[in-house]
Chain A
Amino acid sequence: MTFMRSILGAAATLALVAGTAAADPAIIFDLGGKFDKSFNESAYRGAKRWAEAHAGTFKEIEMQSEAQREQALRRLAESGANPVVMTGFAFGNVLNEVAPDYPDTSFAIIDMVVDQPNVRSVVFSEHEGSFLVGMLAANASKSGTVGFIGGMDIPLIRKFACGYAQGVKAVNPDAKIVSNMTGTTPAAWNDPVKGSELTKAQISQGADVVFAAAGGTGVGVLQAAADGGILSIGVDSNQNHLHAGMVLTSMVKRVDNAVEKAFTDGPGFETGVMVMGVGNGGVGFAMDENNGPIVDANWKMAADEAAEKIASGELVVHDYMADNVCPALQF
């Protein structure tokens, strides 16, 4: 028995030592998967950039089901990984329970606020980025009617729509904004057929620029817009290349910057809510060789000016999630 105990004790000590020695950062990807061409892939790029710059290594887990979340989180924390970054609001509840059990580990969660002393909550000012692409949309529109197609009807997507509508109205106060949500269930994120039909419906209502904030459904929106000869706006990652010359721009959310920053700050980083907005490179609109020819220099200049004003606080874009009303758009 004594012998057994000493062996166990030795093993435990060894595990502890090993744990502290390997203080690699870790990242957990949500259900969409590491290569989703969007949110998670952006996070992966940020982690990889950190690894290349610091010649470091990091641990990673891809979620395969809802039930794995807590297990994965605890396993990483117990293996000594620090900091642990996770993508997606779905981790909110789990992290709230797990974080107090590992007070020495720093956690970062993206797109959700978790109020624990060792958690950094990274949220994006999607309304500010949407405002900028709304300005570009209003400038590019010849008919004075622009469209918005959201995925699932949740406050976050309304935040996109509301910021976009404000940007449109800032350029053209008489503009008409046609807004549709794909659905009210998670299936709305992956229904490109309905996305296409919505786009066609918006085209017949006169829209000549549509902004898709709809995950996989957006693929159908961009396709139908390109087929119908109108411009579209992508979301989350740079989607300009999907239909070169037909995608006006993309509202990019720099999840990669958030992940890289968390990894660089290392264990014991500053916790609390961190807002990634236009000012600190969290959101913006994408410009590259695919949309360069279709974006007029004056439009870009106007959007850049607005970005500076938002960054300096001179211009405030209303956040739908603050009070659940939108001054520029009726839902």
Chain B
Amino acid sequence: MDFSTLIQILDSTLRLATPLLLACLAGLFSERSGIFDIGLEAKMLVAAFFSAAFAYSTGSVWIGLLAGIAASMVFALIHGVASITFRGNQLISGVALNFLASGMTVLVAQSWFQQGGRTPSLIGGARFEPITLPFADAVRDVPFLGPLYSDLLSGHSILVYVALLAVPATWWVLYRTRFGLRLRAVGENPAAVDTAGVSVIGLRFAAIGIAGLLCGIAGAYLATGLQAGFVKDMTAGRGYIALAALIFAKWRPWYALGACLLFGLLQALSLRTDVVDAIFPFKMPVQLLDSLPYILTVVILAGFVGKAIPPRAGGTPYVKER
């Protein structure tokens, strides 16, 4: 395997890891506040559809992005009303949203565009074009670092950089702000937060709102950045892989980046059977690479490599003492 092949694989890794990373951070905010969220898939899917639909109708990808975020926030709000306000089961609400998104997007797409549950292909300004970072062309010929910068880091759509910047931002919000301290506290011991006179419900709604925002960006990236349009069920289980990455990362932002890049790398490797055959001395089935994220997560959960302890108040609705 030569250097340029390595760059190609890492390039693919970055593209595949971006939606995982955004969804993973969304889950991180939500679960850190004590709300389990298996509806990441649903939020990404509605965002993918509405971003593609509005980008096509208006010709502007930015309006599409806003529409995608709005749709994802609406789904987050439904999850919030069901599981925070009415104290319903968070897992059931998430599953219900997943089904709703899968059916609703196709139905709306069919009655809107009559293309078998797809949106028409996006062209021109209705898509996120790759952007070239400054000096990318100038430093291309520098050995080693040049290709690393101009082929690997440069040339992605802007949402990739947004996702990468979201990691330090999440770290800063969670660990360096008052809001973050309260958010982490509400996921561990909501009664203590309530005693301190801070609204548990308000904090949890804020957390799932942020989750909605991040999932919205992830969905818009799938439909308008990586692809040029919506296809039914196009998230293809990425929301669940993001959840696995969240557990793998033990609910920490920087670890989340590492986990998502690792899972992205495994996915990217499974696309290159020629490279896989060259690396491993034996015949490595690509299906094994595809399932490695889940296997690794089970290993972590079983406690073989450190311990994954979820936020203590996760999954239980908060009931104020009377």
In the complex, the number of residue pairs spanning A and B with C-beta atoms less than 8 Å apart equals 81
A12 CB–B CB distance under 8 Å: no
Contacts of A178 in B (CB 8 A): 274
A190 contacts B232, CB within 8 Å?
yes
Task: Check B116–A37 contact: CB distance below 8 A.
Answer: yes
Within the complex, the shortest CB–CB distance from B195 to chain A, in Å, comes to: 46
Q: Is the CB of B118 within 8 A of A37?
A: yes
The docked-state distance in angstroms from the alpha carbon of A88 to that of B74 is 37
Question: Scoring A residues 186 to 215 as 1 if CB is less than 8 Å from chain B, else 0, what string do you get?
Answer: 010011111011101100110000000000
Given contacts A37-B115, A223-B121, A223-B227, 19 further A-B contacts (CB under 8 A): A184-B287, A187-B236, A190-B232, A190-B234, A191-B236, A192-B227, A192-B234, A193-B16, A193-B234, A197-B12, A197-B15, A197-B268, A200-B8, A216-B234, A219-B227, A220-B227, A220-B231, A223-B229, A243-B121
Q: Does residue A36 face the partner (Cβ distance < 8 Å to B)?
A: yes
Hey, which chain A residues are within 8 Å of B188, CB to CB? none
Contact B227 A216 (CB under 8 A): no
Residues of B within 8 A of A205 (CB): 272, 274
- Which DSSP category, helix, strand, loop or mixed, fits chain A's interface? helix
B199 contacts the other chain (CB 8 A): no
Interface pair B271/A216, CB less than 8 Å apart: no
Chain A residues in the interface with B (C-beta under 8 A): 32-33, 35-38, 41, 178, 180, 183-184, 187, 190-194, 196-198, 200-201, 204-205, 216, 219-220, 223, 242-243
B226 within 8 A of A: yes
Contact assessment for A180 and B273 in the assembled complex, using a CB-CB cutoff below 8 Å: yes
Q: Is the CB of A196 within 8 A of B110?
A: no
Select one of B116, B226, B227 contacting A33, CB under 8 A: B116
Which residues does chain A contribute within 8 Å of B227, judged by CB atoms? Answer: 192-193, 196, 219-220, 223
Q: 8 nearest interchain CB pairs?
A: A191-B236, A36-B116, A201-B271, A37-B116, A35-B116, A216-B231, A190-B233, A204-B8
Chain A contacts for B168, CB-based, 8 A? none
Minimum CB distance partner of A64 in chain B = B103
- What CA separation (Å) do A225 and B168 show in the bound complex? 35
Measured between beta carbons, the chain B residues less than 8 angstroms from A200 are: 8, 12
On chain A, the residues within 8 Å of B19 by CB distance are: 193
Contacts of B115 in A (CB 8 A): 35, 37
Are A33 and B110 in contact, with the CB atoms below 8 A?
A: yes
Which residues of B in the span 226-264 have a Cβ within 8 Å of any Cβ on A? 226-229, 231-234, 236-237
Q: Is the Cβ of A193 less than 8 Å from the Cβ of B236?
A: yes
Q: Would you call A35 and B110 a contact (CB within 8 A)? A: yes
A197 and B16 in contact, given A35-B110, A219-B118 (Cβ under 8 angstroms)? yes
Residue of A nearest to B115 (CB): A37
Quick check: is B5 within 8 A (CB to CB) of the other chain?
Answer: yes
> Which residues between 91 and 112 of chain B lie within 8 Å of chain A, taking CB atoms?
110
16 pairs from A and B in contact (CB 8 Å cutoff): A32-B116, A35-B114, A35-B115, A190-B233, A191-B234, A192-B234, A193-B19, A193-B222, A193-B227, A194-B271, A197-B271, A204-B5, A205-B272, A220-B231, A223-B121, A243-B121
